[in-house]
Amino acid sequence: MSKDSKQIRRLTVNGRTWAITEVEKQGMTQKIKINDEELSVRILREPTDDQPDLIANVNGKVLIARREEEPDGSDYLIRLSGRLLNVSLDEREQLSRDAGASQIVIGHVVITAPMSGRIVSLKASPNTSVTKGQPLAVLEAMKMENEIAAPKTGIVSEVYVQSGALVKAGDKICLLQ
């Protein structure tokens, strides 16, 4: 692989897709980029017949994942720290650095709840300008608060929920232009 190219995979979780690029690998630890955020992932235990859980340390946080069903093609049903997720990871494709536009979110984006929970607060309202990574809402799930960030710079054109609303995974939160 040339210096001007990179290996990219597409990770889709409950309908949302991210570009994943492997930056560096050393033994059981690898640095990856998900869109523009770099993560350090260390596999602590691979799944076996006796111990079906995969245990990984991601940026200092331990996550436990278990495959719930046999894969259907490239789709997996995985329980991650108690949450059931439909996960798909496509094959690698090689892109040149100039093709980085595939990692850029273009057009209108409907921001959805990544999990069921309660909207604790809204950080943006209609006609508000936001930057990529800026929190749009805070969702409380399993006694933890999760910020839902803007995947791109844009303008919030619609907000579909109110503070205190109960949402399910996939419910619309807002529309970003």
- Strands 37-45 and 117-122: what pairing? unpaired
Q: Over the stretch 90-107, which tens digit does the pLDDT of each residue have?
A: 655 444 343 333 344 555
At residue 118, the pLDDT reads: 94
pTM over 0.75: no
- Strands 144-149 and 172-176: what pairing? unpaired
Secondary structure letter of residue 60 according to DSSP: T
Domains and their CATH numbers in the chain = 5-94 (3.30.700.30), 105-176 (2.40.50.100)
Q: Is 64 exposed, middle or buried (0-12, 13-18, 19+ CB in 10 A)?
A: middle
Whole-angstrom distance, CA of residue 14 vs CA of residue 34: 16
Whole-angstrom distance, CA of residue 111 vs CA of residue 109: 6
Q: Over the stretch 2-21, which tens digit does the pLDDT of each residue have?
A: 343 355 677 777 777 777 77
Strand residue runs (E) in 27-164: 29-34, 37-45, 53-58, 61-67, 75-80, 83-89, 93-96, 109-112, 117-122, 128-130, 135-141, 144-149, 154-159
Whole-angstrom distance, CA of residue 78 vs CA of residue 86: 6
CB 76: neighbour CB atoms within 10 A?
17
